[in-house]
């Protein structure tokens, strides 16, 4: 569910199946020098033949080609068929802000190759494409990983260690979040050494009952622990249609809390307290600090992907990220 509909196009690209592949303005890449991209076949039968880079297009000292390749490996390396070529690293009229051009395709020729272009910020820690500012470098997810280790405080399943964290940002009233729970349950089974966290990210402008649902969830976890929370969460998602109205939300949340074994009076008192509001606000702020713009989002040691990504692809990305971070998934 998109947080801000005005940014729908940019967000949709940023949260597509391949985290970087559609995060930028895309132009088809010519398969041979001087060819017309518009006339390229829709489904090439062979890997693309990228034009040879022109040394005259490498006018900037930073980022280096090695750093750009490491960045691309971090983003697309989970796909063994992904291939790319750094085509240009150029100075711009703004000191320290340089332009990078990359051609991307796949080894089996199933995807039309395309041209990816972005600008690096003077500190070389971010890139700019359209409205998006994206972490850059050889280890682009490291800062977000550290931020989550410090501030992701939601109920969790799996390991108490924060060395390998899968943090789900979700809204109880979001239909896509409900659909993503099947993936989350599979991840718990397939990655028992991971710490799998539920982080409240309600979107009240779209889902008016999401904030009170988040408050109930926090209080269930506070009063009875993570196991009770996930029992509560499963019941709320199962009966999600009941959140459509204030009265329906009260019945749905009370029923879910009862199923989790909670005293309703204690839960209600906790849910309307200023302390609980502060906790929910802090969780939403964490989402904003990570520049999360849609739910459900799963953050894998700092790397963001949609939590409702097809499961085998999601599992592939998690295993790849674990290898990149030298942890056991």
DSSP state for residue 130 in the 8-state scheme: T
Tell me what pLDDT residue 1 has.
61
Tell me what pLDDT residue 329 has.
76
Q: How far apart are CA 204 and CA 224, in angstroms?
A: 26
The reply to whether 188 falls in a domain is yes
| Structural domain span for residue 124 | 5-137
Residue with tokens 């904030």: 211
The reply to whether 310 falls in a domain is yes
pLDDT digits over 278-316, tens only?
999 999 999 999 999 999 999 999 999 999 999 999 999
The better pLDDT of the pair 193, 131 is held by 193
The reply to whether 237 falls in a domain is yes
Beta-carbon count within 10 A of 275 CB: 10
Token pair belonging to 57: 């297009």
Q: Are residues 124 and 159 in the same domain?
A: no
Domain boundary at 137, 153, 174, which?
137
**Residue 167, phi then psi, degrees to nearest 5:** -110, 115
The reply to whether 329 falls in a domain is no
CATH number, domain with residue 187: 3.40.30.10
Tell me what pLDDT residue 111 has.
78
pLDDT band at residue 246 under the 50/70/90 scheme: very high
The reply to whether 226 falls in a domain is yes
Tell me what pLDDT residue 43 has.
52
pLDDT band at residue 22 under the 50/70/90 scheme: very low
The strand pair at 195-200 and 165-170 is best described as parallel
Q: How far apart are CA 22 and CA 75, in angstroms?
A: 11
Q: Are residues 103 and 183 in the same domain?
A: no
Domain boundary at 92, 119, 137, which?
137
pLDDT band at residue 10 under the 50/70/90 scheme: very low
Q: Are residues 178 and 78 in the same domain?
A: no
pLDDT digits over 158-181, tens only?
999 999 999 999 999 999 999 999
Q: Are residues 45 and 81 in the same domain?
A: yes
pLDDT digits over 260-275, tens only?
999 999 999 999 999 9
Q: Are residues 284 and 203 in the same domain?
A: yes
The total of structural domains in the chain comes to: 2
pLDDT band at residue 11 under the 50/70/90 scheme: very low
Q: Are residues 239 and 184 in the same domain?
A: yes
Tell me what pLDDT residue 45 has.
61
Tell me what pLDDT residue 101 has.
97
pLDDT digits over 292-301, tens only?
999 999 999 9
User: pLDDT at residue 46 above 70?
Assistant: yes
């Amino acid at each position: 569910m998109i947080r801000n509909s005005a940014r729908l196009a940019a967000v949709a690209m940023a949260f597509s199946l391949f985290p970087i592949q559609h995060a930028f303005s895309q132009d088809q890449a010519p398969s041979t020098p001087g060819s017309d991209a518009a006339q390229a076949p829709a489904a090439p039968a062979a890997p693309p033949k990228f034009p040879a880079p022109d040394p005259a297009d490498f006018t900037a000292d930073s980022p280096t080609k090695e750093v750009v390749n490491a960045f691309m490996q971090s983003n697309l390396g989970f796909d063994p068929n992904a291939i790319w070529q750094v085509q240009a690293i150029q100075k711009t009229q703004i000191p320290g802000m340089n332009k990078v051009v990359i051609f991307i395709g796949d080894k089996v020729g199933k995807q039309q190759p395309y041209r990816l272009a972005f600008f690096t910020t003077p500190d070389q820690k971010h890139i700019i494409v359209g409205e998006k500012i994206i972490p850059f470098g050889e280890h682009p997810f490291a800062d977000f990983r550290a931020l989550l280790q410090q501030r992701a405080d939601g109920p969790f399943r799996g390991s108490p260690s924060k060395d390998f964290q899968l943090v789900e940002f979700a809204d109880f009233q979001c239909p896509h979040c409900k659909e993503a729970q099947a993936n989350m349950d599979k991840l718990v089974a397939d990655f028992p050494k991971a710490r799998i966290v539920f982080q409240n990210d309600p979107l009240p402008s779209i889902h008016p009952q999401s904030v009170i649902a988040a408050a109930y969830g926090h209080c269930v976890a506070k009063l009875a622990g993570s196991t009770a929370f996930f029992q509560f969460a499963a019941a709320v998602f199962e009966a999600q249609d009941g959140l459509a109205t204030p009265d329906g939300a009260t019945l749905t949340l009370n029923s879910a809390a009862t199923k989790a074994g909670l005293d309703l009076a204690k839960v209600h008192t906790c849910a309307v307290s200023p302390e609980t509001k502060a906790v929910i606000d802090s969780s939403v702020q964490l989402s904003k600090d990570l520049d999360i713009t849609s739910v459900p989002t799963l953050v894998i040691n700092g790397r963001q992907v949609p939590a409702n990504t097809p499961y085998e692809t999601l599992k592939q990305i998690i295993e790849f990220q674990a290898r990149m971070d030298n942890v056991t998934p």
